[in-house]
Structure 1
Amino acid sequence: MRHGDKINNLGRKTAHRHALLMNLAIALIENKRIFTTLAKAKALRLYVEPLITKSKQDTTHSRRTAFSYLRSKEAVSTLFGDIATKVAERNGGYTRIIKTGNRQGDAAEMAMIELVDFNEIYTNGKKGSTTAKAKTTRRSRGAKKTAPAKGASADTSSVEEATEEN
């Protein structure tokens, strides 16, 4: 029985699975996007997201912990350098999994896993729109606006509306 066994063993023994996830994590950190099977991508997400969370605190202990998972100095320096600065304000959800169809040979479900903040297509569109919007709360729902100055600004707005109609 496998009651409460939540880990996906990926059809491998423990040492082989750890080596596989370590190599996938290094490839993801260095390339920012990799193509793999859907099961491996889901297992990799559980492996790499805690490492990215640890990289937000640049301490010796967190670097040594990340190195024990990755065993690559280059990957650890990239993780604590480029990636940690980009995800500093993000509270989680550092990776995105996109299904890409089935593999031709064995019809395995394939997927692309990528780091969310390193996709220029999505981030450019969001940065422009989020900086233009003012933050609203649920209570205000955007109804609370700055009151115009007494007299002059309220009168000028009605005059401007009248001129635009003509």
Structure 2
Amino acid sequence: MPAQRKLGRPTDQRKAMLKSLVSALFEKGKIETTEARAKEVKNIAEKLIALAVKECDNFTSKQVKVSAPKLDSKGNKITNKVTSKNGKTYYVVEREIKTDMVRVDNPSRLSARRKAMNWLYRIKDSEGKTINLANKLFDEIAPKYKEKNGGYTRIYKLGPRKGDGAEMVILELV
């Protein structure tokens, strides 16, 4: 018996399909697919969520100096006119140095994040901004399931598909 279902596809196509389904599940919270695909996606998603829950609070905070441009009341950058040694003039943006608290992942959390990124695609929202699904998994989804031991997803059966009779299901995060 194989370790996972082949789903009638070559390895590269199967992995790409599963990655897109896992990404869609974490982005939207639920997906509609066939039962065999849903069972495979459920296995992958459960493992990723369990990994994220385990590493949920495994980070430290650190102060970092950040150089940022000074802004006027309208939000425009403040510039100064400067003359170089050879007589050319150009504009330089005034900058100010701030200290910010930055969250730094510990090595095991970083490793878990990289494992999760192996199964997640980069997705853009309706405005064209890139959504980092690894951040969403570790910062939004994992804290919800911190008190729960497994069973992060649920499968609802919908019945056979009209065209080929494949059993359709809804896979959702609990």
TM-score between the two structures when normalised by the length of structure 2: 0.62
- 1:40 and 2:62 correspond: no
Deviation at 1:46, TM superposition (A): 1.1
- 2: CA distance, partners of 1:64 / 1:5: 26
More helix by share: 1
The equivalent position to 1:74 in structure 2, one of 120, 132, 141, is 132
TM-superposition CA deviations, 1:7-31 (whole Å, max 9, x none): 1100001111111110000000010
Unaligned ranges ≥5, structure 2: 57-108, 123-130
Q: Which amino acid aligns with 2:111?
A: H
The CA distance in 2 between the partners of 1:13 and 1:47, in whole Å, is 18
Task: Give ranges in structure 1 of 5+ residues lacking alignment.
Answer: 117-166
Higher strand proportion, which one? 2
Is residue 31–residue 171 contact of structure 2 (8 Å, CA) maintained in 1?
yes
Residue type matched to 1:27 in 2?
A
Asked if the contact 2:22/2:119 (under 8 Å) is kept, the reply is: no
- Whether 1:13 and 2:63 are equivalent positions in the alignment is no
Deviations 1:93-139 (Å, cap 9, x if unpaired)?
Answer: 111011001111111110000001xxxxxxxxxxxxxxxxxxxxxxx
Q: Say how many residue pairs are matched.
A: 113
How far apart are the structure 2 equivalents of 1:65 and 1:5? 22
- Distance of 1:86 and 1:6 partners within structure 2: 30
Match of 2:173 among 115, 118, 122: 115
Q: Which runs of 4+ in 1 moved over 4 A?
A: none
Q: Over residues 54-78 of structure 1, what are the superposed CA-to-partner deviations in whole Å (9 max), with x where a residue is unaligned?
A: 1110411111111122143621111
Q: Percent of aligned pairs with the same residue?
A: 42
Matched, 1:92 2:89: no
Which whole-Å CA distance do the structure 2 matches of 1:109 and 1:98 have between them? 11
> Could you say which structure has the greater relative contact order, defined with CA pairs below 8 angstroms and 6 or more residues apart?
2
CA RMSD of aligned residues (A): 1.2
Kindly state the Cα deviation for residue 38 of structure 1 after the two structures are TM-superposed: 0.7
> Matches of 1:44 and 1:64 in 2, distance apart?
18
